[in-house]
Chains A and B, each alone.
Chain A
Amino acid sequence: MKRLVIAVLFSLFLLPLASIVFAAGGAGPDKSMMKGVITKINPESGTIVLQKDATGELKTLIIGEKVKPETIRLNKKVLVMLDHDAGENVVKDISIMFMDMTLKKLLSLLTIGLVGGILSGFIGSGGAFVLTPAMMSLGAPGAVAVASNMCHKFPKAMIGTYKRWKYGQVDLKLAATMATTAIIGVQIGVMIQKYILNKWGNDGSNLYVSAMFVIVLVLVGGYVAYDAYKLSKGGKDKTEQTASTLALAMQKINIPPMMNFKVAKVRISAWVTIPVGLATGMLAATIAVGGFIGVPGMIYVIGASAMVASATELGIAFIMGLWGSIQWGLSGLIDIRLSVLLLATSLIGVQVGALGTTYVKDYVIKITMAATMLIVAVSRGALLPGYLAKFGLVGQISPSTAAFLESLSFWALVAALGTAGFISTGAMVKGMIADRQEAKLNIIAEADRA
């Protein structure tokens, strides 16, 4: 049976591996997206000449109506999106690939890196929901922001996994099993994302991502909040809760291959872990926070504790982040400066968050996760009317309402990060103080005995 499991997992792993070989062989980025340097602008004919990145080929492109004039800059590497609906070689959007790094941007990246790191170490995922939009607001094109975040996520998750594995919280086998299926989920997610971006452009992509965010976060976050509330009221002394009814039912399904997860203390059919892994991957590729599905999935469907699930998620995030980074790297979209600046503080944060879990009870992780998810849902939800209006699905909203919703969205994100940081560090500090007091009492007691 073990051999069968290994064979299934291996073949699942080979599938994406084969695609990387093909991709490296020259598939490159999408046809509607081009990287290169604008060498010439012809205002009379409304065209630009782009020297394409990989081949060096010169291509004359027509400036579309939607292009902002300030983005057309000579001798800067740009990302050009074509508008196939408007005709051949018509440019839809030009974004400067590498923003100029100012002190303000640098400090912003370091700050969000730190808080994102703490959150990651504590609940297994997080930060990306703030990191990606933050990088975009600093001036990185969407695809570069996602790619650079991905390339910062996997080293962070690797360090986090190592730490929490040392604390005995990571189920490596569960992580490997989930990650293998999640990688396939990522592939599907990337395909959907690229399809949407090509077909409906940035507005469509934004609408899709926001809608996904809101639906998933409200449903799952709401349930986690309800569960955490019950636990915090019912049994504060409990260190571990019992598995959910759903998980217990799932564990009774006896379709081979059955898998034993020792750290998670679960025996379950591989066919239960596959959909959870797929969903984690799809979400990770689309909204960069697969953990918001992966962790609750491991808790409520598979039956692991929040402690083990959040730690195991870090392992999954490492493998998936590495995989995703290779994908984005093949298209040449990673701005390594953004990745390493985030890492400067997030590698500290993730270790603080990881060691913090040793001082708190299981339900604190759930509370932190639920609070984060629900506030992020508000943030994304606030943007939905604007995106819907752009698509003509609802009536136009007034500029003042739009401005209000945008600031609500921004402040909700800040609140989400702040709240999560506050709950996790608060619980951690409280735990540390209690632990030190206990240690002191032990010393006094020992001295008395002597």
Chain B
Amino acid sequence: MSAPAVQFKQDATRLSADLRHRRIIQTAMGKYETVRDQRKAAFQNWEEARQLAAITKWEAINHLDAYLEQLVSKLESRGTKVHWATTARQARDTILGVLRAAKARVIVKSKAMTAEEIHLNQALEQAGFEVVESDLGEFIVQLREEPPYHIVFPAMHLTRDEIKEVFDRKLGDAPSNDPEQLTMVARRVLREKYLQADAGITGANFAIAETGMISITENEGNARLTSALPRVMITLIGIEKVLPRLEDLALFLPMLAAMGTGQTVTCYNTLYGGPRQPGEPDGPEEYHVVLLDNHRTSLLADPEQRDSLHCIRCGACLNVCPIFRNVGGHTYGTTYCGPIGAVITPNLRGLNEWQHLSYASSLCGACTETCPVKIDLHHHLLQNRRNGSRQKPSWWQKLAFKMFAPIATKPTLWSLVTKLGRFGQKLHGLVKGSYLDPAYAWTRTRELPPIARQTFKEWWRTRS
């Protein structure tokens, strides 16, 4: 087992038994589900909306070169500097280069999963920059020195007491555990940072090819401030975020909001096309857009799984996934968790090391059913399993399945195994539930049914 697989299993085992942790997720999800369902019901035809969204992303992704070139040409025509990064390292180096050239010192960041993906904050801090996460949830987990727990709700796993504790410890400022008061503390601290910051780094939700704009969705206004006050603005965006036209946002913004947070639309949806233009009263002097590949082109090259690039990062698949709901986001040990994470991580970070995420699923299909852009998520998990087994078969599993074949296809062997099984079960009672029990994985927590005194096949034979 790879190191990430060992970590996953250990954390999953620990957390699935943690009833307090399970209850916290359950409560959060319950609240989300109610509003999500209200939003879906308000659509005149939710299922058709999914199909329209799926077709739109299909168009964008299957003609990605054309739409990217259009996007970049429009951005550049207004003075935006566009950088292309194949690897995470190139992206980090590009951003460091921009910041050094701008003689920046204090950086504010709004939420960017791509920044997590390339471990940007670490690199910036090591290079001597002060980086402050401005999204409240990200701010909190940054103080706690842990990664975000969920792609939309970074601090979902924390209680108000835990948040008060870290505010006390790191900020010396936490009048109470009241969510409003805690939020106001963060507001005060971050306000100062926005005003001090030399540079702002954002992520992005969409990139509109037709008009050359980066679209950022948020509720708090921190990305708006990050893009308004500092003199340099940098957006890090995956190449797959492209949408063909401005009007496509009329469909995608409400769908993202409905599935992400159960809102009609998110509070601030903002489009940025360039740095401050002549005649504009304020805004950054420089605007840089860093286009990130980081193995997305590998996913693109697999027509079977290409639609995983349609993802709009709404988080809905996480929210319905019974695995996610029982083990939580940190267990996955990687940037993208939940079903989408289980699908793309083996492809982005290596099949051998990360395929266990695709195995840690019962393939229930709730993710596929809920995905607003109709990604065939649970079938991709199956495909990852097939690809992983082909690349590096597990000899004992291969052997076990090979030995099973004649047993399952020759009636005499099946009959024999049935009888042996009955006998074995009698002895099983002696070791059941102990470490000698070959069925320990099951019997640790569950009873096994007995093999029937007369199996169906045996009964069927008596009839004829």
Question: Is chain B a partner of chain A in the same complex?
Answer: no
Residues of A within 8 A of B (CB): none
Residues of B within 8 A of A (CB): none
